[in-house]
Amino acid sequence: MAAFAIPVVPSRIEAWKQWTRELQTTRKAEFEEFNRRMGLSKHKSWLMQTPQGPLAVVLHEGSGEATFLSKLATSDNPFDVWFRNSISDFHGVDLTKPMPAMPEPFLTWEKD
Protein backbone atom coordinates (compact mmCIF):
# COMPACT_ATOMS: atom_id res chain seq x y z
CA MET A 1 0.00 0.00 0.00
CA ALA A 2 1.26 3.47 -0.86
CA ALA A 3 -0.20 6.47 0.96
CA PHE A 4 0.76 10.12 0.90
CA ALA A 5 -0.63 13.61 1.43
CA ILE A 6 -0.40 16.35 -1.17
CA PRO A 7 -1.57 19.96 -0.88
CA VAL A 8 -4.62 21.07 -2.85
CA VAL A 9 -4.40 24.58 -4.30
CA PRO A 10 -6.95 26.40 -2.08
CA SER A 11 -8.65 28.17 -4.99
CA ARG A 12 -9.12 24.80 -6.75
CA ILE A 13 -10.88 22.84 -3.97
CA GLU A 14 -14.35 22.94 -5.54
CA ALA A 15 -12.94 22.00 -8.94
CA TRP A 16 -11.00 19.14 -7.29
CA LYS A 17 -14.20 17.88 -5.67
CA GLN A 18 -15.98 18.02 -9.04
CA TRP A 19 -13.08 16.14 -10.66
CA THR A 20 -13.32 13.36 -8.06
CA ARG A 21 -17.09 13.13 -8.67
CA GLU A 22 -16.44 12.94 -12.41
CA LEU A 23 -14.00 10.05 -11.88
CA GLN A 24 -16.78 8.18 -10.06
CA THR A 25 -19.57 8.98 -12.54
CA THR A 26 -19.14 10.20 -16.12
CA ARG A 27 -15.53 8.98 -16.41
CA LYS A 28 -15.89 5.95 -14.15
CA ALA A 29 -15.22 3.36 -16.89
CA GLU A 30 -12.10 5.23 -18.03
CA PHE A 31 -10.90 5.56 -14.42
CA GLU A 32 -11.42 1.84 -13.82
CA GLU A 33 -9.47 0.98 -16.99
CA PHE A 34 -6.74 3.45 -15.97
CA ASN A 35 -6.35 1.76 -12.58
CA ARG A 36 -6.26 -1.69 -14.21
CA ARG A 37 -3.55 -0.56 -16.65
CA MET A 38 -1.57 0.94 -13.77
CA GLY A 39 -1.83 -2.26 -11.74
CA LEU A 40 -3.91 -0.74 -8.96
CA SER A 41 -6.63 -2.60 -7.10
CA LYS A 42 -7.47 0.30 -4.78
CA HIS A 43 -7.30 4.06 -5.38
CA LYS A 44 -8.78 6.35 -2.71
CA SER A 45 -8.49 9.97 -1.70
CA TRP A 46 -9.75 12.11 1.16
CA LEU A 47 -9.80 15.86 1.59
CA MET A 48 -8.27 17.00 4.88
CA GLN A 49 -8.44 20.57 6.13
CA THR A 50 -5.34 21.53 8.09
CA PRO A 51 -4.11 24.81 9.62
CA GLN A 52 -1.57 24.91 6.75
CA GLY A 53 -4.29 24.46 4.10
CA PRO A 54 -6.17 21.65 2.38
CA LEU A 55 -4.50 18.30 1.73
CA ALA A 56 -5.55 15.35 -0.37
CA VAL A 57 -4.69 12.13 1.41
CA VAL A 58 -4.17 9.50 -1.29
CA LEU A 59 -3.94 5.72 -1.08
CA HIS A 60 -2.89 3.37 -3.88
CA GLU A 61 -2.79 -0.38 -3.54
CA GLY A 62 -1.97 -3.16 -5.96
CA SER A 63 0.89 -4.75 -7.84
CA GLY A 64 1.60 -1.48 -9.68
CA GLU A 65 1.68 0.85 -6.67
CA ALA A 66 5.49 1.22 -6.71
CA THR A 67 5.57 2.26 -10.38
CA PHE A 68 2.27 4.14 -10.58
CA LEU A 69 3.59 7.70 -10.51
CA SER A 70 6.46 7.01 -12.91
CA LYS A 71 4.10 5.27 -15.36
CA LEU A 72 1.64 8.15 -15.11
CA ALA A 73 4.45 10.67 -15.69
CA THR A 74 5.45 9.12 -19.01
CA SER A 75 2.18 7.79 -20.41
CA ASP A 76 0.81 9.24 -23.63
CA ASN A 77 -2.62 7.62 -23.21
CA PRO A 78 -5.20 10.45 -23.59
CA PHE A 79 -6.93 9.69 -20.26
CA ASP A 80 -3.59 9.49 -18.46
CA VAL A 81 -2.51 12.85 -19.92
CA TRP A 82 -5.81 14.39 -18.80
CA PHE A 83 -5.42 12.83 -15.33
CA ARG A 84 -1.78 14.01 -15.04
CA ASN A 85 -2.69 17.54 -16.16
CA SER A 86 -5.54 17.60 -13.63
CA ILE A 87 -3.14 16.65 -10.85
CA SER A 88 -0.85 19.46 -11.95
CA ASP A 89 -3.74 21.93 -11.90
CA PHE A 90 -5.18 20.88 -8.53
CA HIS A 91 -1.97 20.15 -6.67
CA GLY A 92 0.61 22.40 -8.33
CA VAL A 93 3.01 19.57 -9.14
CA ASP A 94 4.52 18.51 -12.43
CA LEU A 95 4.59 14.72 -12.50
CA THR A 96 6.93 14.74 -15.49
CA LYS A 97 9.67 16.11 -13.18
CA PRO A 98 11.44 13.89 -10.62
CA MET A 99 9.22 13.30 -7.62
CA PRO A 100 10.36 13.16 -4.00
CA ALA A 101 10.61 9.73 -2.43
CA MET A 102 7.44 8.14 -1.11
CA PRO A 103 6.89 8.45 2.65
CA GLU A 104 9.01 6.21 4.83
CA PRO A 105 6.96 4.09 7.24
CA PHE A 106 7.79 4.44 10.93
CA LEU A 107 4.85 3.01 12.86
CA THR A 108 2.82 -0.04 11.99
CA TRP A 109 0.34 -1.89 14.14
CA GLU A 110 -1.87 -4.72 12.98
CA LYS A 111 -4.11 -7.04 14.92
CA ASP A 112 -2.84 -10.61 14.65
Tell me, what CATH number does 62's domain have?
A: 3.30.70
pLDDT at 109: 76
In a domain? residue 60: yes
In a domain? residue 35: yes
Amino acid 40 reads: L
pLDDT at 108: 78
In a domain? residue 112: no
In a domain? residue 103: no
pLDDT at 102: 65
Alpha-carbon gap, residue 41 to 61, rounded angstroms: 6
In a domain? residue 96: no
In a domain? residue 87: yes
Distances (CA, A) of 100 to 4, 33, 85: 11, 27, 18
Q: What are the mean pLDDT values of the chain's consecutive 10-residue runs (112 residues total)?
A: 89 96 97 97 96 94 91 95 95 81 75 82
pLDDT at 66: 87
Please tell me the total count of domains within the chain: 1
pLDDT at 39: 96
Alpha-carbon gap, residue 76 to 78, rounded angstroms: 6
